Amino acid sequence: MKESNPTDPIGQNIIKLISNVCFSVFVFSVLIFTVIAITYQPPDPWESSRALTMVFTQVENATFKTDTSVLKTGEDVATAPVAMPEGSLSTITESTIQKSEEELTSNVTLKSGCEDVSVVNCSDPRVLIAIQRFNLRTYKAIAFLDYQTPVNGSKPDECDVAWRFRNKKDKSWRKYRDFRRFRLGFKDDCSYKVIHPGRWHSGINARRPRIQVNPSGNWQKGRIAPPVRDDEINDTIPLLGSDSAFRKGRYLYYSRGGDYCKGMNHYIWSFLCALGEAQYLNRTFVMDLSICLASAYTQSNKDEEGKDFRFYFDFEHLKEVSPIVEEGDFLRDWKRWDKNHKTKIPVRKVANYKVTPMQLRKDKSTIIWRQFDAPEPDNYWYRVCEGPAAKYIERPWQALWKSKRLMNIVSAISGSMDWDFDAVHVVRGEKARNKELWPHLDADTSPDALVAKLQGTIAPWRNLYIATNEPFYNFFDKLRSHYKVHLLDDYSYLWGNTSEWHNETTLLNGGRPVDFDGYMRVEVDTEVLYRAKTRVETFYNLTKDCKDGINTC
């Protein structure tokens, strides 16, 4: 008979004990993880001024440092593209083109296409199909929305065609327009093929009627005029209407505070606080369209008042997503009511930002008038959204998009490079001169350093767009031996005195020409940078210096 091993029960007990301990640890870990997952709420990246520093600038002494290198607005920080409005056009795809082709094939009256292969018939539907198919293969960054019927170019084998599109990287639903000239030929089966596409806006016969501003500021038709204004921009000011409509409304009115003439990042932070409070209180926001542009962005190096909000931001989108009334019209209607009626409009004056939005939630006054008469920094609008209010007021970033007129310039620059380009963001200016905070930035962004760094990242002879605050145009000449270099100043004709942008902003400004200022340059540079296939950043790729100075990484 086999003798039993007296250590077996001990070993089995140890194994069971270890198993029980491991299982208990596992169950306890799952329990802890579950509790954390349920209770943890990630911080809102826009909830506080400290969070803003990670995306925009730093906050110091209750105001904002100026950072003119990269500017983000609502369409840049959105996590997903905004849904297109109801009734918007669908995207043209290979399947829709194939369906059109099948419909043509079933048409018995259609000619075979081999009767005359010496002349291209631009009105033939198969010409448009060939161009659509070519565009889909060539411009993969673009979503094509609709086409106009092609028209004759300048030669028998050329056709001009216009279309509307949007960039696939855009977070907005805005549409843009291009018109190009195509040289076409025939395949062996006598079907059309594109031999050569024209450049951006080369199909001048397909563009819409053109107009220009005469010296008196009136619009008239002319032979040498720039393109017609963008008829998809509607930034007219909404009116209140009758006295009864004014009286029935509920308004939030902010008097001008210490934010005026501060940097644009400061302005945006404060403006969206005010707009967020109006939405929280379910009131129409009384908006001052006049902006004071800080000296950091002006050609005069002085603060400049009287800049129109619509020069920089999309007012049409703003008024579609949030109730807005213009300050001048609002004050006139208010004055007219008080003049024509014995009963005055109920007004709640709020003299201190410490009166929270939560305290005003149930106020029945027609007008809540926040006044900012205290000394700085207590007269900043954004102070309203600090403290406990930060949990209730959500800044509506999705309401603030860049101006469509500036975005048309972005599309023109990107389109001139056929939407196939790389970009480098080169921050220099004051930061490169400040060796205490950025000891290596100047050397790391020198021409020789840029050539060495970019050669390992971007293929030679690619289109390279340089978004920069470097004022000297020839600073990047050494890169021209390796790349097709593009700078914003190469496209100055897009805002020159014969441009569409110039004419539209002049009309918007009461006949007075508008400067293409530093802030507009930052907006355009930023959006072209975002559309690049490969993007090289200064503080992440070119230098080890911290974006906000030593020991801030």
Q: Write out the DSSP string of 212-273.
A: EE-TTS-EEE-TT--PPP-TT---PPPP--SHHHHHH--EEEEPP-TTTTS-HHHHHHHHHH
Kindly state the percentage of the chain with pLDDT values over 70: 79
Rounded to whole angstroms, the Cα distance separating 417 from 531 reads: 11
Closest listed residue to residue 155, CA positions, set 208, 187, 119: 119
User: Of 54-58, 274-278, 334-338, 391-395, which gets the smallest average pLDDT?
Assistant: 54-58
User: Of 75-89, 136-150, 426-440, 455-469, which gets the smallest average pLDDT?
Assistant: 75-89
Can you name the CATH fold of 243-399?
Rossmann fold (3.40.50)
Angle in degrees, 0-180, between the axes of helices 94-105 and 125-138, rounded to the nearest 10 = 160
pLDDT on residue 2: 45
pLDDT 10s digits, 282-313: 999 999 999 999 999 999 999 999 999 999 99
10 Å CB burial of residue 284 (0-12, 13-18, 19+) is: buried
User: Predicted confidence band at 244 (pLDDT cuts at 50, 70, 90)?
Assistant: confident
Per-residue pLDDT at 113 exceeds 70: no
Other beta carbons within 10 angstroms of residue 11's beta carbon come to 10
pLDDT on residue 71: 64
Rounded to whole angstroms, the Cα distance separating 184 from 193 reads: 6
pLDDT on residue 88: 52
Closest listed residue to residue 469, CA positions, set 551, 540, 538, 550: 538
Rounded to whole angstroms, the Cα distance separating 264 from 270 reads: 10
| Buried residues in 321-342 as b, exposed as e (16+ CB within 10 A) | bbbbbbbeebeebbeebeeeee
Residue recorded with tokens 């509506």 = 396
Rounded to whole angstroms, the Cα distance separating 183 from 444 reads: 45
Q: Which residue has the higher pLDDT, 227 or 106?
A: 106
pLDDT 10s digits, 415-439: 999 999 999 999 999 999 999 999 9
pLDDT on residue 523: 94
First to last CA, the chain: 76
Q: Determine the distance from the C-alpha atom of residue 54 to the mean position of all C-alpha atoms in its chain, rounded to a whole number.
A: 18
Other beta carbons within 10 angstroms of residue 238's beta carbon come to 13
Rounded to whole angstroms, the Cα distance separating 313 from 307 reads: 12
Q: Determine the distance from the C-alpha atom of residue 9 to the mean position of all C-alpha atoms in its chain, rounded to a whole number.
A: 73
What dihedral do alpha carbons 102, 104, 107, 110 form, nearest 10°?
Answer: -140
Per-residue pLDDT at 247 exceeds 50: yes
Rounded to whole angstroms, the Cα distance separating 473 from 482 reads: 17
Residue recorded with tokens 């021209």 = 480
Would you say 369 and 347 are in contact if contact means Cβ atoms under 8 Å apart?
yes
Per-residue pLDDT at 36 exceeds 60: no
Token pair listed for 122: 């631009």
Token pair listed for 92: 């043209």
Rounded to whole angstroms, the Cα distance separating 299 from 287 reads: 27
Rounded to whole angstroms, the Cα distance separating 258 from 63 reads: 10
Would you say 399 and 275 are in contact if contact means Cβ atoms under 8 Å apart?
yes
Residue recorded with tokens 């110091």 = 60
Residue 443 exposure: Cα atoms within 13 Å on the Cβ side:
6
Q: Which residue has the higher pLDDT, 455 or 16?
A: 455
Identify the helix (H) or strand (E) that includes residue 320: helix 315-321
Q: Which residue has the higher pLDDT, 91 or 482?
A: 482
Read off the pLDDT of each residue in 522-538 and give the average, rounded to a whole number: 95
pLDDT on residue 41: 35
Which one-letter amino acid corresponds to residue 159? C
Q: Determine the distance from the C-alpha atom of residue 293 to the mean position of all C-alpha atoms in its chain, rounded to a whole number.
A: 19
pLDDT 10s digits, 390-401: 999 999 999 999
pLDDT on residue 12: 66
User: Predicted confidence band at 221 (pLDDT cuts at 50, 70, 90)?
Assistant: very low
Bridge partner residues of 253 (DSSP): 286, 369
pLDDT on residue 464: 98
pLDDT on residue 246: 87
Per-residue pLDDT at 64 exceeds 60: no
pLDDT 10s digits, 541-552: 999 999 889 988
pLDDT on residue 211: 45
pLDDT on residue 190: 82
Which one-letter amino acid corresponds to residue 236? T
Would you say 372 and 492 are in contact if contact means Cβ atoms under 8 Å apart?
no
Residue recorded with tokens 């939560």 = 358
CB neighbour list of residue 113: distance below 8 Å, 6 or more residues apart: 124, 126, 186, 190, 191, 192
Read off the pLDDT of each residue in 30-36 and give the average, rounded to a whole number: 57
Closest listed residue to residue 534, CA positions, set 425, 440, 427, 434: 425
Cα dist. 404→8, 233, 279, 409, 516 in Å?
A: 81, 7, 24, 9, 15
Per-residue pLDDT at 39 exceeds 60: no
Kindly state the percentage of the chain with pLDDT values over 90: 63
pLDDT on residue 434: 94
Token pair listed for 446: 């020198």
State how beta strands 535-536 and 422-426 pair. parallel
Mean pLDDT of the chain: 84
Q: Which residue has the higher pLDDT, 320 or 220?
A: 320
Residue recorded with tokens 């110039």 = 502
Q: Determine the distance from the C-alpha atom of residue 166 to the mean position of all C-alpha atoms in its chain, rounded to a whole number.
A: 13
Per-residue pLDDT at 106 exceeds 80: no
Per-residue pLDDT at 38 exceeds 60: no
User: Predicted confidence band at 101 (pLDDT cuts at 50, 70, 90)?
Assistant: confident
User: Predicted confidence band at 109 (pLDDT cuts at 50, 70, 90)?
Assistant: low
Cα dist. 299→73, 388, 547 in Å?
A: 23, 41, 26
